[in-house]
Structure 1
Amino acid sequence: MQACQNIAYKVKDGLVQPEEIDEHLIEQELQTNCTEFPYPDLLIRISGERRVSNFLLWQLAYTELCFVESLWPDFREADVIEALHSFQHRQRCYGRRDL
C-alpha cells in the first residue's frame, strides 16, 4: 500500500506518468528494496496457520511456503531443519509451467 501511495504522489507531482508505472517501479518503492535479499526463498509460517496474513504479498510471489504446527515458544531448531530439508527437495519453477 505504501509503495502505491508513493507512486501516486510521484504521479501527482509530475515525476512519473501513469503509463510509466510498471513492475520495476513498484519494486523500487517496496520497503524491502533496501535489503540485500528483498525476496525470500522460504517462508516458515508457525502456529498451524495456513495463510500469509498480507505479509510481503508482492515479495512472496515465488517464495516457497512451509507451514508448521508449533507455536512460537515451542519452535525449535529441529523445526527449522525440517523446513529446510523440505525446501531442499522442492523443484522451484518461479512461475514457469513447462516443468
Structure 2
Amino acid sequence: MKAEESTKDNSKLQLIIAINYSGKYDVVQACKSVAKSVKDGLIQLEDINENLIEQELETKCTEFPYPDLLIRTSGELRVSNFLLWQLAYSELHFIQKFWPDFGKDEFVDALTSFQKRQRRYGGRN
C-alpha cells in the first residue's frame, strides 16, 4: 500500500485503529481483570488505584494512550462510547463535516484551536 510505504520510516506517530471498540466494555474488562487479581490474592483491595486500572485498558499497547486532542466529525457533540477513560483530560474539537470530507484545512483549524487552549488537566489556575 502507498500509505504503508510512504510512512515505513516514521517513528513518532502511532496510529491505532479501534474496530468494534467500546469504551464501556474496555473499563468493565479492566475492572474484571483487577477484581480477579484481588480474588486470586495477587493484590489487595487497598492496592487498587487509577494506575492499576489503566494497565488493564486496551490502550496499554501504546506509549501514548491518552489523546491530547479528539477531533469529532459529523456535527455530533458526543464521544460516542469512545475511549471514555482515556479522554478524561483530552481537548475536544467538533466539526460539522463528515470524515471523508475532513481535509488539511479542517485539520489545521483543529490544531490552531488546540494551540490556543490552556490545558489544566482538571486543575484550576
TM-score range, shorter chain: over 0.9
For normalisation by structure 2, the TM-score amounts to 0.74
Give 1:40 deviation, angstroms.
0.6
Amino acid at match of 1:57: L
Specify the alignment match of 2:123 in structure 1: 96
Deviation sequence 1:34-65 (CA, Å, 0-9, x none): 20211110000000011111211111111000
Q: CA RMSD in A?
A: 1.0
Secondary structure at 2:121's aligned position in 1?
A: coil
What residue is the counterpart of 1:57 in the other structure?
84
Aligned twin of 1:68: 95
How many residue pairs get matched?
98
Structure 2 counterpart of 1:89, one-letter code: K
Aligned to 1:20: 47
Task: Give me the whole-angstrom Cα distance separating, in 1, the residues matched to 2:71 and 2:83.
Answer: 13
Counterpart amino acid of 1:48?
G
Moved over 3 A (4+): none
Structure 2 residue matching 1:29: 3-state secondary structure: coil
Find the counterpart in structure 2 of residue 37 from structure 1. 64
Could you tell me how far 1:3 is from its partner in structure 2? 0.7
Unmatched 5+ stretches in structure 1: none
Counting aligned pairs with the same residue, the percent is: 66
Distance 2:100 2:50 in 1: 38
Compute the TM-score of the two structures, normalised by the length of structure 1. 0.92
CA distance in 2, matches of 1:72, 1:89: 24
Is residue 87 from structure 1 mapped to residue 117 from structure 2 by the alignment? no
